Amino acid sequence: FYAAPADHVTGKVDDLAELTNLNETTLLKELKVRYSEDSIYTFLSDILIAVNPYKQLPLYTEDAHDLYQQKQRWEAPPHIFAIADRSFHNLFEMAKNQCVIISGESGAGKTESAKLVVKHYIHLCNARGHQAPNNLEKQIIESSPLLEAFGNAQTVMNDNSSRFGKYTRLVFDADGQVLGIQLSEYLLEKSRVIEQAAGERNFHLFYYMFAMPNKERYLLGDMSSYHCLGGKAWEDNTAMYEEVVRTLRLMNFSEADEAMIFRTLATVIHLGNVNFDGTEEAYVKDDAPLKAAATLLQVSPAVLTEVLTSIESVAKGEKIRRSYKQSQAYDCRDALAKALYAGVFGWMVNSINTALAPTLQGKTNIHEIGVLDIFGFECFAVNSFEQLC
């Protein structure tokens, strides 16, 4: 059996790779003791283990940013800034592009860690005396609330779970000035807009819409009457809605863009209330939600009804329209709702990329750091395709 060295004190080793016998039991014991002392970060060689404290800790001050500038791993306690700092300086010392991979289960703190990494990069740029043009640094940091409103939701394990993967590509010039970023999103959990497991909610932004002063413009009534909105609105709904609107302005979205976003989301909400009857040929049971969705889509109710209850094919140059069965009509409705949400989400990400795109004109020596915030994994009673990936 393994016996720890006489001078070993559990929880006081910053790098678990230094232990003479590292196994699962030892690792968990060390992490548990460190966690109880609010030491939430621990190195395992070049890997940083972070345990979510679920409370605010004074670990991310300006002094903390300064403490980890150009420090070797053993010169300061384990910290997310140490990883960010090392990758930033490797970018120039090794002349090789870098990547920070953040992985873990839902609720582990991946999204917050990714934001802290980017925040430290911005601090390092400022420390070099570089000021990004056109409010770029503020835009980079404050784009996160918008992405979270669109792509995060309450699950059984986590009230703010990212239901998509995000890759952030930061571009720097040879002097270390940030030129811009590019975002890539993947595996958006589109099935969530249709239904959610017990105790879970749809994406946050759907609920924020009910705090709008002009929600009647989007034909919205009482939130509890919509089938696709599980759970309840939070107390900070109004504040979160105002933050989304403020961020849209900061990211150069126009009022017309904002209206288009909310109109599309309201359409998805109304589609969730469209029901069908009939056996061989499906028909819409209640015209009210369909008419609301058609109005918001700016099409006639007859056209939307035709799209949801039938399909047109072409055979030998002749158009043939075939009616859906009831189950097929529901599948079509769900597919339309998911496509609308995925479309507006992708468009929003592309618009942010346009606002934050790096200015490369006249730049010849370009460096890049990628920050990968991996989709948080959970084990549900029913797992969707996106979750199983």
Q: Give the residue numbers marked as catalytic.
A: 106-107, 111, 158, 161-162, 376, 378
Q: How far is CA 353 from CA 213, 349, 367, in A?
A: 29, 6, 18
Q: CA-CA distance, 123 to 127, in Å (whole number)?
A: 6
- Residue found by looking up tokens 């393994």 in the block: 2
Q: CA-CA distance, 37 to 19, in Å (whole number)?
A: 20
Q: Rounded to the nearest 10 degrees, what angle do helices 326-356 and 144-151 cross at?
A: 180
Q: CA-CA distance, 352 to 182, in Å (whole number)?
A: 8
Q: Which of 148, 103, 146 is nearest to 371 (CA)?
A: 103
- 126: tokens are 């400022």
Q: Which of 46, 17, 113 is nearest to 30 (CA)?
A: 17
Q: Rounded to the nearest 10 degrees, what angle do helices 301-309 and 287-297 cross at?
A: 110
Query: Phi, psi (5° rounding) for residue 191?
Result: -60, -20
- 142: tokens are 């404050």
Q: CA-CA distance, 147 to 145, in Å (whole number)?
A: 6
